[in-house]
Structure 1
């Protein structure tokens, strides 16, 4: 092989390694190129020839790739290859977990009796526990469920966007009948006793009737979602009727009736209904936003939150599908209702939860972007924030965007999605820990909130531009804030909340024990 051929082959290998490093297919790469410079965009086949060393890329193409991946042109011409792909499937160590040891205490028989007792004593309902199980399963799988994706794509033929009429035609094709009913908003209480406004939207009546509230005719984006969910029940479960009704403003799986008895005992039907609800919801998202076409759409839109308007879907569906279709898997998603109840949570990146979605705690960290928007009604537009999470000795950096919206019952709430920037920072060859320490020191100088200096911002902007996420760029240009899981352990120089001193607890007994032993040794 001549020297020139070796250089061409090496360059092609380097380009292929860079593409795979960021989890892109050849088609994804071409879409990104078209977004930046359609005149110099190669075809998929030509890009494949370049990667296999059978074609030499032009200088214009190298300049285009350097812009996409935020690399200097010289980087493509040196003799190094970074061949470690992003660990998208790695289980995030930030998610709380425990070892089930010793084995005899965590046997199937013991857990079958212990779990109901724990739920009863903590006031956790069977439905809540079922959704925690499913959420953990989602996070473990990075929101990847290819079987449901495939079925939805076969039903919808990967068409996008689908209109209300398109989905109704699919329902009719699969033997479903649609009936309309009239039901206005009403007030009830959720599992925590909080009074809420609820709209009963839709339900499935076996074997093949879909009942839809006439109110949804004025909300086509939500109507499409409900139709898609109910169609999913017919496709996935043969329409057997084991599916929760759709009600907005209540708890997941529908709103309870006034004065309904709330059981803390877990029943098998709680698990079954929760899993069916999840499958139908995921099917609806995959039908409305088929994976590959939707990912290309997001790339063209630079993951703009406002792009839900072009797709004619709800912003919630847009955000949740982002976490599933993106080649970057380190996402989270929150849905919060006033004054701070987290109704929906997904933590594929292992981000801490500022407080649980079952009850409101007394020591929240008010600096999370979602709660800034929730507590400040003057924020009307999407709000982007860069956040350094400080949890004891662990530091993580997140970019997030939050938007205020209303549900079908007109209840105000805030939805938020974000990414862990750590893996992307490492893919740029930067020292993550050193960068986080610099950011933390800078934030401390501003009592927890500061606009980062130009050097740090430029490093982070390269990361955001490589990911092609516009609101991450916006977050980097805004003030960076230190956040924490609970404000009782606030890492800021001046604690943002004042809390009364805690009474001595069990962990203090070890200190007393040590003092007694120390005094005993001195007497000897």
Structure 2
């Protein structure tokens, strides 16, 4: 270990390297200081001291530098050589998730006037409802912005004061302060069912009626997590939309929604496009996002996730459902390349978020005939256990293999329907951020899986690289997935990369 005088002599680029590493991994100084405390609280730098190190005003002790090196999985000597890094290591600005866009040429065909005529015609011919189209627009908006909506975050923080966890009494106090009144019901009035087009597959958990009435299903008294979420959504509706005249209905069970935000509300659907559909869907999204931000405020929740390695059962500590906890991960994590699925058997994706651009494993608007059964989220549908399932997957995207990691859990909704929640990340940007060859690693891992019939133990050298990245990301289930066989997956069986194709042999049947 180098002594302090040696560090002084060899610290020319130390501060710059630490700063660049921190920014490359999208960590704030508070994040890095917290990570260091987890490694060694006695030697960890404070935020202010870390700032001075990065600006070259202070040189860390040998013990402190060892802690920082452990966080970034680097050798201490790497920080002390006299050569700056050749590779630019600040993150690329403007990187976004979601599917790739397309050039709209000739531009005159995509004028507002032509689109306003063509879109309703297109939807009527494809059978997509105005509500579904609204969900697709919102999902694309979410994915493009990678769940970054600071105005909604701030609105929730002003109401909840960044308290976490918020108790049921805290939420009821907020409801009372807003002048809203609570009513309980056992059976939904028929008029509400008829107006909303609600089927028997749904359980209406709550609804709001202007100007200040919230109606709650008595079933929620024994489901506190869902009760808190419904109250948070209605608080969001009140704060963001000024208790307007829209009746907001919350439901549990299978729904027709396709937006990440629209996993618990419903409205009538029609084959025509109504401008109100877009407005109502957007307001549902805003209220749902607000609810998550109120129950899991960004900074406290991010710090809690960091302390517990992004374990899914963190929801119990916050007093929210697993769904809320997993969806909020995609919004508060310093790593932005996330996806989230909520899947019902036999293959209905009720909620989707793809901030990392991962292709859809199944259709939202239609069933596909050749779905790949090797996706963890769908394999979990057929399993009987309720534990978690970590998996490393290789998927071809734009004809190049990508490495993904995910964690899936099986849960039941209030209507008694089993479904699977899945949170996952694209590992390739994290691999590249550490100066490693992500494309080469993915190709080598794919080759190993192909040679072994579609799945393979991760080769030692690749496992070492992935473990280092997992520790930097501080996501425990990525490390667990590395210890299991990696699996080849595909978006459709007809493009199965396995040899022989598992679709041809009947292994990927629906």
Give the C-alpha shift of residue 106 in structure 1: 1.6
Indicate yes or no: 2:53 matched with 1:50.
yes
Q: Larger deviation: 432-441 or 388-397?
A: 388-397
Indicate yes or no: 2:270 matched with 1:263.
yes
What is the match of residue 68 of structure 1?
A: 71
Indicate yes or no: 2:153 matched with 1:149.
yes
On the 8 A contact 2:7/2:80 being kept in 1, the answer is no
Inter-partner Cα distance in structure 2 for 1:41 and 1:212: 48
- Give the unaligned 5+ runs of structure 1: 501-524
Match for 1:276 among 274, 278, 283? 283
Give the C-alpha shift of residue 83 in structure 1: 4.4
Give the C-alpha shift of residue 266 in structure 1: 1.0
Indicate yes or no: 2:206 matched with 1:202.
yes
Give the C-alpha shift of residue 430 in structure 1: 0.8
- Give the unaligned 5+ runs of structure 2: none
Inter-partner Cα distance in structure 1 for 2:402 and 2:446: 10
On the 8 A contact 2:185/2:217 being kept in 1, the answer is yes
Give the SS at the match of 2:341: strand
On the 8 A contact 2:248/2:265 being kept in 1, the answer is no
On the 8 A contact 1:198/1:255 being kept in 2, the answer is no
Indicate yes or no: 2:426 matched with 1:420.
yes
Match for 2:89 among 84, 88, 92? 84
Structure 1, residues 353-392: CA drift from partner, whole Å, max 9, x if none? 0122122111101111100101222x32110110100246
Q: Larger deviation: 77-86 or 273-282?
A: 77-86
Indicate yes or no: 2:327 matched with 1:320.
yes
Indicate yes or no: 2:398 matched with 1:372.
no
Inter-partner Cα distance in structure 1 for 2:431 and 2:100: 23
What is the match of residue 336 of structure 1?
A: 343
Residues 88, 298 of structure 1: CA spacing in aligned structure 2 closer, same or farther, 3 A cutoff? farther
On the 8 A contact 2:249/2:266 being kept in 1, the answer is no
Inter-partner Cα distance in structure 2 for 1:142 and 1:6: 43
1:133-144 → structure 2 map (5 Å cutoff): 133-144=137-148
Alignment TM-score, normalising by the size of structure 1: 0.89
Give the length in aligned residue pairs.
489
Give the C-alpha shift of residue 453 in structure 1: 1.5
Indicate yes or no: 2:221 matched with 1:217.
yes
Indicate yes or no: 2:15 matched with 1:34.
no
Inter-partner Cα distance in structure 1 for 2:94 and 2:62: 35
Give the C-alpha shift of residue 35 in structure 1: 1.7
Inter-partner Cα distance in structure 1 for 2:146 and 2:432: 20
Match for 2:307 among 278, 282, 300? 300
On the 8 A contact 1:403/1:416 being kept in 2, the answer is yes
Inter-partner Cα distance in structure 2 for 1:298 and 1:243: 35
Indicate yes or no: 2:486 matched with 1:483.
no
What is the match of residue 517 of structure 1?
A: none
Give the SS at the match of 1:414: strand
Give the C-alpha shift of residue 137 in structure 1: 0.3
Give the SS at the match of 2:201: strand
Residues 152, 182 of structure 1: CA spacing in aligned structure 2 closer, same or farther, 3 A cutoff? same
Give the C-alpha shift of residue 3 in structure 1: 11
Inter-partner Cα distance in structure 1 for 2:6 and 2:448: 49
On the 8 A contact 1:86/1:423 being kept in 2, the answer is no
On the 8 A contact 1:233/1:243 being kept in 2, the answer is no
Match for 2:298 among 275, 291, 301? 291
Give the C-alpha shift of residue 323 in structure 1: 0.4
Give the C-alpha shift of residue 163 in structure 1: 0.6
What is the match of residue 433 of structure 1?
A: 439
Flag the structure with larger Rg. 1
Structure 1, residues 111-162: CA drift from partner, whole Å, max 9, x if none? 1111111111111111111000000000011100000101110111100000
Inter-partner Cα distance in structure 1 for 2:24 and 2:333: 14
Residues 14, 6 of structure 1: CA spacing in aligned structure 2 closer, same or farther, 3 A cutoff? farther
1:226-241 → structure 2 map (5 Å cutoff): 226-241=230-245
What is the match of residue 512 of structure 1?
A: none
Indicate yes or no: 2:498 matched with 1:495.
no
Alignment TM-score, normalising by the size of structure 2: 0.91
What is the match of residue 454 of structure 2?
A: 448
What is the match of residue 503 of structure 1?
A: none
Give the C-alpha shift of residue 102 in structure 1: 1.0
Give the SS at the match of 1:245: strand
Q: Larger deviation: 388-397 or 466-475?
A: 388-397
Inter-partner Cα distance in structure 2 for 1:69 and 1:452: 22
